[in-house]
Amino acid sequence: MRDVHPPRIKLPAGSCDCHAHIFGPQAKFPYLPDAAYIPPDQTLEDYIRVHKALGVERGVLVQPSVYGTDHSAMIAAMTSGKFNFRGVAVTAPDVTKKQIEEFHAIGFRGIRINLASKNRGLSIDDAPRLAELIKPLGWHLQFYAPVSAITAVEEKFTALPVNLVIDHFGVIDCAAGMDSPNFKALLRLLSRPNVWMKLSGPYHVSKQAPLAPDVAPFARRIVDTAPDRLVWGTDWPHPTGQWMPNDGDLVDMLAEWIPDEEVRKRILVDNPARLYDFA
C-alpha cells in the first residue's frame, strides 16, 4: 500500500470521512462471483492507519457493489469498536422494516442506489418504497449516478420525502466548463432543501492528476450554493478511480475547495453529525 503523506492543513476535531470502503480479507469476505472489479484487500486495519495519518476521527463506510447485499465485511468493521463508524447500506428492493431496524441498531443511516455500477442493484424505481420505509428513522437515500441520469428522472427524484445525497460531484465533467448543462443542473438540484452532495472522488470528474486543480472552482461554487448540505469523503481506497491520488493530497485540496475555515468545519464536522446521526 502506498504511503500517505501528512496533510499540510490540520483537520478540525471530529472531522468525518463520509465515503470510504472496506475490502476483504477475501478469504473471509468473498466478493460476488460476477463482481465488476476485484480490488485488493484493504482491511479495517488499513483504514485506521490511513485515517489516523489524515486526522480523521469519524467515518462513514459505504457498501461497495462487489459485495452486493452481503454486509458482513462492513458490519465486522462497524461493530469492532476500533473506530467511530456509521454506514450506508445496499439492500434488496424488498428489504423489510425489521431488517432496516436491525441495520439502524448497528449504525447504518442510509441506503445507496448505484446507477453507475455494472453490477445489478437498486434502481430509481425502488426509491419511493425505500424512502417511505426509512423516513421514520431519519435515514437518507444516496445516489451514485451522473447528474444527467438524475435529471432524466428529476420529478421522481425530487418528490422523494427524505434527504437525498449525490455522490462524487454528480460525476460532472470539469472539462465541459462551469456553464455546462450538467453543472447548472447540479446547482439547481442543490438549491432544494433536501438535496445534499459529497465533495469526493475528484478523479471521477477531472483528468488533471494528481491534484485536480480544475475541480476547485466547481467546488467553491457548490460550497456557495449549499454549505449546510455538503459532506466530504476520500473514497478510500479508490477502487474505481481513473487515477490514484495520495490521500494527504485529498485533505489538502480542501484548502482550495473550502478556503473559509468555519465553513470547512461545518462541512467536515457539523453536517456529517446531522446527516449520519453522530452523537
Angle subtended at Cα 239 by Cα 46 and Cα 266, rounded to the nearest 5 degrees: 75
Q: Which residues contact 105 (CB under 8 A, 6 or more apart)?
A: none
Q: Which residues contact 219 (CB under 8 A, 6 or more apart)?
A: 169, 199, 256, 257, 258
Candidates 17, 235, 247, 270; catalytic one: 235
Instruction: Report whether 56 contacts 15 (CB < 8 A).
Output: yes
Q: Which residues contact 102 (CB under 8 A, 6 or more apart)?
A: none
| Crossing angle between the packed helical segments 215-225 and 247-257, to the nearest 10 degrees | 60
Residue 179 designated active-site: no
Count of positions (residues) in the chain: 279
| Crossing angle between the packed helical segments 247-257 and 44-54, to the nearest 10 degrees | 40
Q: For residue 270, which amino acid is it?
A: D
1 DSSP assignment: -
Q: For residue 84, which amino acid is it?
A: N
Instruction: Report whether 100 contacts 133 (CB < 8 A).
Output: yes
Q: Which residue has the cell 496533510?
A: 7
Measured between alpha carbons, how far is 262 from 134 in angstroms, rounded to an integer? 32
Measured between alpha carbons, how far is 21 from 3 in angstroms, rounded to an integer? 18
Write out the catalytic residue numbers: 235
